[in-house]
Amino acid sequence: DIQMTQSPSTLSASVGDRVTITCRASQSINTFLAWYQQKPGRAPKLLIYKASHLQGGVPSRFSGSGSGTEFTLTISSLQPDDFATYYCQEYISYSRIFGQGTKVDIK
């Protein structure tokens, strides 16, 4: 099975900060990588698919990059609504493994 490893597990940041989350795959997944945001008590929300394609309605401060085994999610200027947990997911395999999540909290 493919393993997906996110770092860091927790990130403390302030409003206005530039935030970067990394997701590494144990083998190449081309650009079959999605990012999700989840807030407590809510279902996840799709932010980015195909590594860098922003889902409609998602603010442009979110961006994704990478291919192969290393990917990043960047929030250019953190807003109060962005404090949440973020997950990456590969979708090249039937198992579609998620990363363990990165919690972004208030510094």
How far is the C-alpha of 41 from the C-alpha of 34, rounded, in Å? 21
Q: Is 98 a binder of other proteins (CB under 8 A)?
A: yes
DSSP 53-91: EEPTTS-TTEEEEEETTEEEEEESS--GGG-SEEEEEE-
> What is the footprint of other proteins within residues 29-48 (CB under 8 A)?
32, 34, 36, 38, 43-46
How far is the C-alpha of 98 from the C-alpha of 33, rounded, in Å? 10
> What is the footprint of other proteins within residues 64-83 (CB under 8 A)?
none
Region from 16-24, 49-57, 67-75, 76-84 binding other proteins, contact rule CB under 8 A:
49-57
Q: Is 94 a binder of other proteins (CB under 8 A)?
A: yes
Residues in contact with other proteins, total (CB under 8 A)?
A: 24
Among residues 21, 37, 49, 84, the one that binds other proteins under rule CB under 8 A? 49
Q: Are 79 and 62 in contact (CB under 8 A)?
A: no
